[in-house]
Amino acid sequence: MRKIAITTVAIAGVALMALSGCSARSSSSGSDASGFKSGSLIGVALPDKTSENWVLAGKLFTDGLTKAGFKPDVQYAPSNNTASEQASQISTMNTKGAKVLIIGAFDGKQLGSQVKAAAANGAKVIAYDRIIQDSKDVNYYVAYDNFKVGELQGQALLDGMKERFPDAKTYNIELFSGAQTDPNAKVFFDGALKVLQPKIDDGTLKVVSGQTAIAQTQTTGWLAANAQTRMDTLLAGSYSSTELNGVLSPNDTLARAIIQSIKSAGKNTPVMPVVTGQDSEAASIPLIMSGEQYSTINKDTTALVQQAIDMVKELASGKKASTNSPATNNGSVDVPTYYLAPVLVTKTNAAEAYKNNSSLEALVKANTK
């Protein structure tokens, strides 16, 4: 893996500590009520199926919770992606008597009454991948360290442009972020700007469109079509006679749409601009190996789901769930947190990064020249 400056990682750690204002917890010592029986209902509310990782998570939760002796109720917000529909699904889980709710929120600000009802029922709430905001009734948060994800993406953008444009003194870039309804989108973006903003300020990087605020860069619904439309507009409006060197893309789905726009506009020659990503989606692995997409972030969904299930098992036994990081402030309380470490993946380290994932490793081998 490309070396990321030690100071960058240290800054991220300090920032997380400062935001939380709490010391890290590293064990499940102590009791958390009386636990619950084998066979109890565990509700899992996931936001959508726009990313293959959400689809995989649903299957892993269904299989893993069943194997662990629980009754899973796994629901996705419907295709129209409304927060109200997810809230309705969670309310039904409460009515059914779910002992734990694992929630990947469609909109982290719209579930206050549902998690309050869960608390009134004696259920525990685990925010999965996305923090649930402005509620004192969130018990735990399990995710990858998303600020670090952003830092890795920002550094990859810089490193990739140095590789591909070795004679350039300055670089022209554009910035994309995820859906404003997803609190992670801002965390990714802030992490990336921690690395990129100093270079924007000193003139090394130029955002030619001038669109640097998250409200300008956001991608409604995390939908590929919206990213491609915006990239088409940016290229037509700002790059008719200007070279594009790189694009900060927050995930692989959007990266592929951005790459398609770049190719359609003929901006992939003589050198393909650097495009970042996230999630290690299967469709992006061939693009990384060919150089069309420069990087992704490996956030092993299997490991994240398993950690959430392990937390359920601890709660079932009457213990506190394990945490390993500073608590995350959700705007109302400091939520005990378990963070997994993300890994930057480029063509250089893809084989090593995916050696424990047979399907992705096979894609790397099949596309290695």
Sequence ranges of the domains in the chain: 6-138+300-341, 146-299+345-366
For 304-329, the pLDDT digits (tens) are: 999 999 999 999 999 999 999 999 99
Distance CA 237, CA 92 (A): 48
Q: What is the dihedral of CA 340, 346, 351, 356, to 10 degrees?
A: 20
Q: What is the pLDDT of residue 83?
A: 83
Contact call for residues 131 and 183 (beta carbons, < 8 A): yes
Q: What is the pLDDT of residue 79?
A: 63
Taking residues 43-68, report their average pLDDT.
93
The more confident residue out of 142 and 9 is: 142
Q: What is the pLDDT of residue 82?
A: 79
Q: What is the pLDDT of residue 19?
A: 39
Pairing of strands 343-346, 325-329: unpaired
Total length of the chain = 369
**Alpha-helical runs (H) found in 121-267:** 146-164, 183-201, 214-217, 224-238, 252-264
CATH topology match: 6-138+300-341 vs 146-299+345-366: yes
pTM over 0.75: yes
The more confident residue out of 261 and 14 is: 261
Q: What is the pLDDT of residue 10?
A: 41
Q: What is the pLDDT of residue 346?
A: 98
Taking residues 91-111, report their average pLDDT.
95
Q: Write the class of the CATH domain 6-138+300-341.
A: alpha beta
Q: What is the pLDDT of residue 33?
A: 56
Q: What is the pLDDT of residue 259?
A: 98
Distance CA 356, CA 294 (A): 21
Q: What's the whole-number average pLDDT of the chain?
A: 91
CATH topology of domain 146-299+345-366: Rossmann fold (3.40.50)
